[in-house]
């Protein structure tokens, strides 16, 4: 694929490479693209149309929802419901599986999504994004249940995110590498701008919320302490620290120039299993990172090997440049 090729054209080319393809996946991706364009427009307008601030409600996670959380969820859900490619949907912002109307045609895919990741930053104009994952629906099931969604990350058909920053960029993998497409606002089309993204194996940059330092387990403390000591310590090099509190922004930086992102288990969140959602955040981001040559673990195990046990399950997340994540993996096994 050449720089400047439209995302639509790239999807059609991929479809043509599989003679048995029905075109259903291409249509689903077009719906996802359409939803992200609408959300991008809302994010860019912000308080010009009065959509910033709290909605004064909570989602199933117990988190306060922003107005844009609800709007983005409605946009994504309604857009995917208009097509015939999905059998059911699941969102971080909805308590349960979202079923299609009784008379609606069922497709062969399930879609899970975080419609506006990092929304706590929206009121201060910091980068946010949408994360999504596509799974296969069980054959012959009229209304897929929560259990049908509980597939390990290794079964994902596709995963991606759309980042709403100075430019709107969609990053996508279908299991054959990772590509990035920038939205050309003048023509309303995503164009290939970041082909064959590869994460550098080594890095001098890490991202973690240092305010939780006193709660960390020993392997993470050891790793961060060694980074902070710098070239005078066992690592022999100085590190920079970053923290945006938006997973999309953190992962996008890692895909662009390398690094490690950590939201590890700690004593404060141990009872809930972690902070980030396995289905909506960890699995899709793990697929993207691994397809770009990086690693994604909870600490002791590979994220995509986890067999989910509930829709809103939380897990620890450590991902990024392969050699650094491997060190963290080794420390957890020591």
pLDDT digits (tens, 9 = 90+) for 240-289: 999 999 999 999 999 999 999 999 999 999 999 999 999 999 999 999 99
**In the structure encoding, which two tokens stand for residue 315, read together?**
């897990």
For the chain, domains (ranges, CATH) are: 7-194 (3.30.540.10), 205-333 (3.40.190.80)
Among 130, 140, 98, 111, residue whose Cα is nearest residue 28: 111
Beta bridge partners of 136: 109
Q: Is 119 annotated as a binding residue?
A: yes
Q: Is 116 annotated as a binding residue?
A: yes
pLDDT digits (tens, 9 = 90+) for 6-16: 999 999 988 88
pTM over 0.85: yes
Q: Is 233 annotated as a binding residue?
A: no
Q: Is 118 annotated as a binding residue?
A: yes
Q: Is 266 annotated as a binding residue?
A: no
Q: Which residues contact 24 (CB under 8 A, 6 or more apart)?
A: 85, 107, 108, 109
With cut-offs at 50, 70 and 90, classify the pLDDT of residue 99.
very high
Residue 52 confidence (pLDDT) above 90? no
Average pLDDT over residues 128-144: 95
Q: Is 120 annotated as a binding residue?
A: yes
Q: Is 117 annotated as a binding residue?
A: yes
Of 19-33, 79-93, 147-161, 240-254, the least confident: 19-33
pLDDT at residue 230, as a whole number: 96
Q: In what order do the strands lie in the sheet with 240-242?
A: 240-242, 205-207, 260-263, 317-320, 295-297
Among 242, 251, 320, 244, residue whose Cα is nearest residue 281: 251
pLDDT at residue 5, as a whole number: 94
Residue 130 confidence (pLDDT) above 90? yes
pLDDT digits (tens, 9 = 90+) for 162-217: 999 999 999 999 999 999 999 999 999 999 999 999 999 999 999 999 999 999 99
- In contact, 219 and 318? CB cutoff 8 Å: no
The CA distance from 191 to 270, in Å, is 42
Residue 220 confidence (pLDDT) above 80? yes
The CA distance from 290 to 44, in Å, is 31
Length of the chain: 334
With cut-offs at 50, 70 and 90, classify the pLDDT of residue 21.
confident
Q: Which residues contact 247 (CB under 8 A, 6 or more apart)?
A: 117, 118, 129, 131, 261, 263, 276, 281, 285
Average pLDDT over residues 129-149: 95
Residue 160 confidence (pLDDT) above 90? yes
pLDDT at residue 333, as a whole number: 94
Q: Is 92 annotated as a binding residue?
A: yes
Q: Is 108 annotated as a binding residue?
A: no
Residue 62 confidence (pLDDT) above 70? no
Helices and strands in the chain, H and E counts: 8, 17
């Amino acid at each position: 694929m050449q720089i400047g090729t439209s995302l639509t054209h790239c999807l059609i080319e991929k479809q043509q490479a599989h003679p048995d393809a029905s075109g259903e996946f291409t249509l689903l991706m077009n719906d996802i693209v359409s939803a992200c364009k609408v959300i991008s427009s809302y994010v860019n307008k912000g308080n010009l149309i009065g959509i910033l601030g709290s909605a004064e409600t909570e989602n199933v996670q117990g988190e306060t929802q922003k107005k844009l959380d609800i709007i983005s969820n409605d946009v994504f859900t309604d857009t995917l419901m208009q097509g015939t490619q999905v059998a059911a949907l699941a969102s971080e912002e909805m308590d349960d599986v979202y079923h299609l109307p009784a008379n609606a045609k069922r497709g062969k895919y399930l879609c899970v999504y975080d419609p506006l990741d990092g929304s706590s930053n929206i009121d201060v104009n910091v980068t946010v994004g949408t994360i999504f994952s596509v799974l296969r629906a069980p054959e012959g099931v009229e209304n897929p249940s929560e259990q049908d969604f509980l597939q390990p990350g290794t079964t994902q058909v596709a995963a991606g995110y759309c980042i709403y920053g100075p430019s709107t960029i969609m990053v996508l993998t279908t299991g054959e590498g990772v590509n990035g497409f920038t939205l050309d606002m003048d023509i309303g089309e995503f164009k290939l701008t970041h082909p064959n993204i590869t994460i550098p194996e080594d890095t001098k940059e890490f991202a973690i919320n240092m305010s939780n330092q006193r709660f960390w387990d020993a392997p993470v403390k050891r790793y961060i302490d060694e980074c902070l000591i710098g070239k005078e310590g066992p690592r022999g090099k100085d590190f920079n620290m970053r923290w945006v509190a938006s997973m999309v922004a953190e992962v996008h930086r890692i895909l662009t120039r390398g690094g490690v992102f950590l939201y590890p288990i700690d004593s404060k969140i141990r009872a809930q299993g972690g902070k980030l959602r396995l289905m909506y955040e960890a699995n899709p981001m793990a697929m993207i990172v691994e397809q770009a040559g990086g690693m994604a673990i909870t600490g002791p195990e590979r994220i995509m090997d986890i067999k989910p046990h509930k829709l809103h399950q939380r897990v620890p997340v450590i991902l990024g440049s392969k050699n650094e994540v491997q060190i963290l993996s080794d420390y957890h096994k020591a």
